[in-house]
Chain A
Amino acid sequence: MRSFDELDFYEILNLTFDCNDKDVENAYLCLMTIYSASSMASYGAISATERRSILNRIQAGYETLKTVEDRNAYQTTTLGLTDEAKKDEFAKGLELRKELSPLPLNPPVTGAKQTRREKKKGVEERSGDVSNQGVITGAHLRNIREAKGATLEEISEKTKVKKAYLDAIEREDKNSFPAPVFMKGFIKSYAKALGLNPEEISEKYRAK
C-alpha cells in the first residue's frame, strides 16, 4: 500500500492513459471539491498538513497533465515509458474505463411521476456514471477558490467584478444580477481567475 505522496499524477487524479483534456478537468474539479477544507466528504479524515499536501499534488497533477502534449511529456520523462509501453497502458486504460468508478460532480435531479421500474432506473443512473453529465455548482467554485487559498476580495481585484456578484455566483443567487448575460460574463471571468476553462464552466454552471 503506497501513501499518496508515492502515487504518480495519473493515480492521484484517478485517471487512465486514455483520458482526454475534459477528463483531466473533471477529475481536478471533483478532487479539489472532495479535499477542500469545507468539504463534508473528507471531514475529520485528514490533518491540515495532509490536506495541504494532497491539494498541492492535485493542483500539480492538473497542471502537469492538462493537455495531450503535457501528458505525453510526463509519460516519457517522469514515468520513463517507451512508446510501446504507453500504447499498452492506453489499451489497459480503455479496458479499465468500463469498470472505473466515476467520481461525482452533480447528478441531475429527477422529475415527478414515475413507474417503479423507471424509479429504479433513475436511481441507478444517479448512482452510476454522473461525471459526464457534470454540473458545476456555486459550491464547487467556492471550494476550488478556498482550496487555492484565494479570498473573494482577491478574485474581485483580479477580475474587476464586484465582490457581491462573485458571492452571488457562489450562492447561485441569480436575482442579484441585472441581466443573465452579465452573470455569464462574470462566471467566465471568475473561472479564468481560478485557472479553469471559462467556456466549459459557464456552460456547466447550474443556476444560469
Chain B
Amino acid sequence: MFKSPGRKRNTVIWAFAGPKGGVGKTFLTAGLSALLSSKGRHTLACDADVLTPNLHSAFGEESPQKSPCKTSVRKLSFVSFCFGREPLHKLLQREKPEYDFITLDFAPGLLEKNMEDFIRADQPVLITTPEPASIELVYRFLRELTAVKLRRIIGEEKFMEVSSILYDMEISPVSAIKSIREKIAAEDPDAGARIEQETFDKDIKLLVNQVKDHNDQALGPSICEVISKFYGFHTEYLGYISSDERVANSTRNNRLFVNEYPDTETTACFSLILDKLLRNSDSSAGVSKFRLMGFR
C-alpha cells in the first residue's frame, strides 16, 4: 500500500449505515478511519449524511467541509457531502485516486438513492445495537434493500405490479422473492433467472455496537442466522463493540475515543473489526469464506 506515482490505486470503499439514529455510525466510522490511517493507509472519511451531517465534530472540526481537509490524525482526511447536488458516486470517483480507502458515514435509515450507494460499496456494513427497536429496523432495512435491488432488475413498471408481495409482512423476503420470481418467469424466463441470481448477490457485513454482556455478544451471529434463512442476503458478522461509559465523554469533547483510550476493551474490539475488514479487502476477491449453510 505504498504510494507510487503513476500507479493506479485500487481504492476500497467501506460504507457504514444503521437502521436508526444513535446506533453509533459516526462513532464507528470515525474510529475505524482513524485506526485505518494509523496503519499507514491514506484514508478519506466522508460524511454522506446530507441532512444531519455530524462526522466533522468527531474529528474536532467546527463545521462540515466542502473539500477534503486534513484531520489531526496522520494520513486521514475528511470531507462532507452536504454541499450542492453532485451525486455521491461522482464525488467518490473524483477523490478516489488520492486515497487507499474511503469510508462513508450514511444517514440513519437511508433514502433509496443512498441504498444504491451503500450496496455498491466494496464492504457495506450495517450497524445495530442490542435493543429490539434497532434489530427490528435491521430487518426492515434489508427488506427495503431487497426492493431496491428488485426494482433495478425488473424495472419500475413491473416492480409496481409485484411490490405488494414483497411488502406483505406475513411472509419473509426470501419467500416473497420466490413467488415474485415464479410470477415473472412465467412471462419472461430471462427476468426470472436474473431475479434468482442477482437479488441477493451482495454480501452484507453486520456489526453490533454497545454490547454489554454475553447475551448481547451472542446477538450478532443469531441475527446472521435469521437473515440467512429469511432475508436471503449473505451476511458476515464482523464482531461487536463493547459498551464503555467513557465513549459519551469523548463524543462530548469532540475527541476520538480510539486515540484517547487506546488500552480499553472497546478499542480492542475496534482493531479486531478493522483486521477483519482489511482481510476481506486485501484478499481483493471480496468474497468471504463465511458460510452458515448451503454446503451442497
Contacts and interface: CB of A to CB of B under 8 A. Distances in A.
A40 B214 contact: no
Given A42-B226, A101-B237, A139-B215, A50 B171 contact: yes
A89 B296 contact: yes
4 closest A-B pairs by CB: A44-B136, A41-B222, A104-B218, A119-B268
B251 to A, nearest CB: 22
Given A101-B292, A104-B222, A127-B240, A3 B136 contact: no
B289 interface: yes
A4 B169 CA distance: 16
5 contacts: A16-B295, A34-B226, A44-B135, A96-B295, A127-B239
Contact of B215 (A34, A101, A106, A119): A106
A109 interface: yes
Given A101-B290, A104-B221, A116-B263, A93 B135 contact: no
B94 interface: no
Given A40-B132, A100-B292, A107-B214, A127 B272 contact: yes
B214 A31 contact: no
A9 B55 CA distance: 46
Contacts of B178: 1-3
Interface string A1-44: 11110010001001010000000000000110111000111111
Given A89-B295, A92-B295, A122-B268, 17 more contacts: A1-B174, A1-B177, A3-B172, A3-B175, A4-B229, A16-B295, A30-B225, A40-B219, A42-B226, A50-B171, A101-B224, A101-B290, A104-B222, A109-B213, A119-B264, A124-B272, A127-B239
Interface in A72-105: 89, 92-93, 96, 99-105
Contacts of A1: 174, 177-178, 196, 199-200, 232
Interface in A113-133: 116, 119-120, 122-124, 126-127, 130
B139 interface: yes
A57 B249 CA distance: 48
A49 interface: yes
A105 B178 CA distance: 32
A137 B214 CA distance: 11
B214 A106 contact: yes
Contacts of B268: 116, 119-120, 122-123
Interface in B88-145: 130-132, 135-137, 139-140
Nearest to A50: B172
Interface of B: 130-132, 135-137, 139-140, 169-172, 174-175, 177-178, 196, 199-200, 213-215, 217-226, 229-232, 237, 239-240, 242, 262-265, 268-269, 271-272, 289-296
B257 to A, nearest CB: 15
A96 B217 CA distance: 24
A103 B225 contact: yes
Contacts, number: 145
A102 B271 contact: no
A126 B289 CA distance: 19
A122 B217 CA distance: 13
B222 A103 contact: yes
Contacts of A44: 132, 135-137, 139-140
Contacts of A124: 272
Contact of B221 (A46, A103, A108, A137): A103
Contact of B135 (A40, A46, A102, A123): A40
A181 interface: no
B230 A50 contact: yes
A43 B135 contact: yes
A126 B223 contact: no
A45 interface: yes
Contacts of A123: 239, 242, 265, 268-269, 272
Contacts of A4: 174, 229-230
Most buried by B among A35, A119, A130: A119
A175 interface: no
B91 to A, nearest CB: 34
Contacts of B293: 7, 11, 14
A106 B215 CA distance: 7
A87 B229 CA distance: 27
Contacts of A14: 225, 292-293
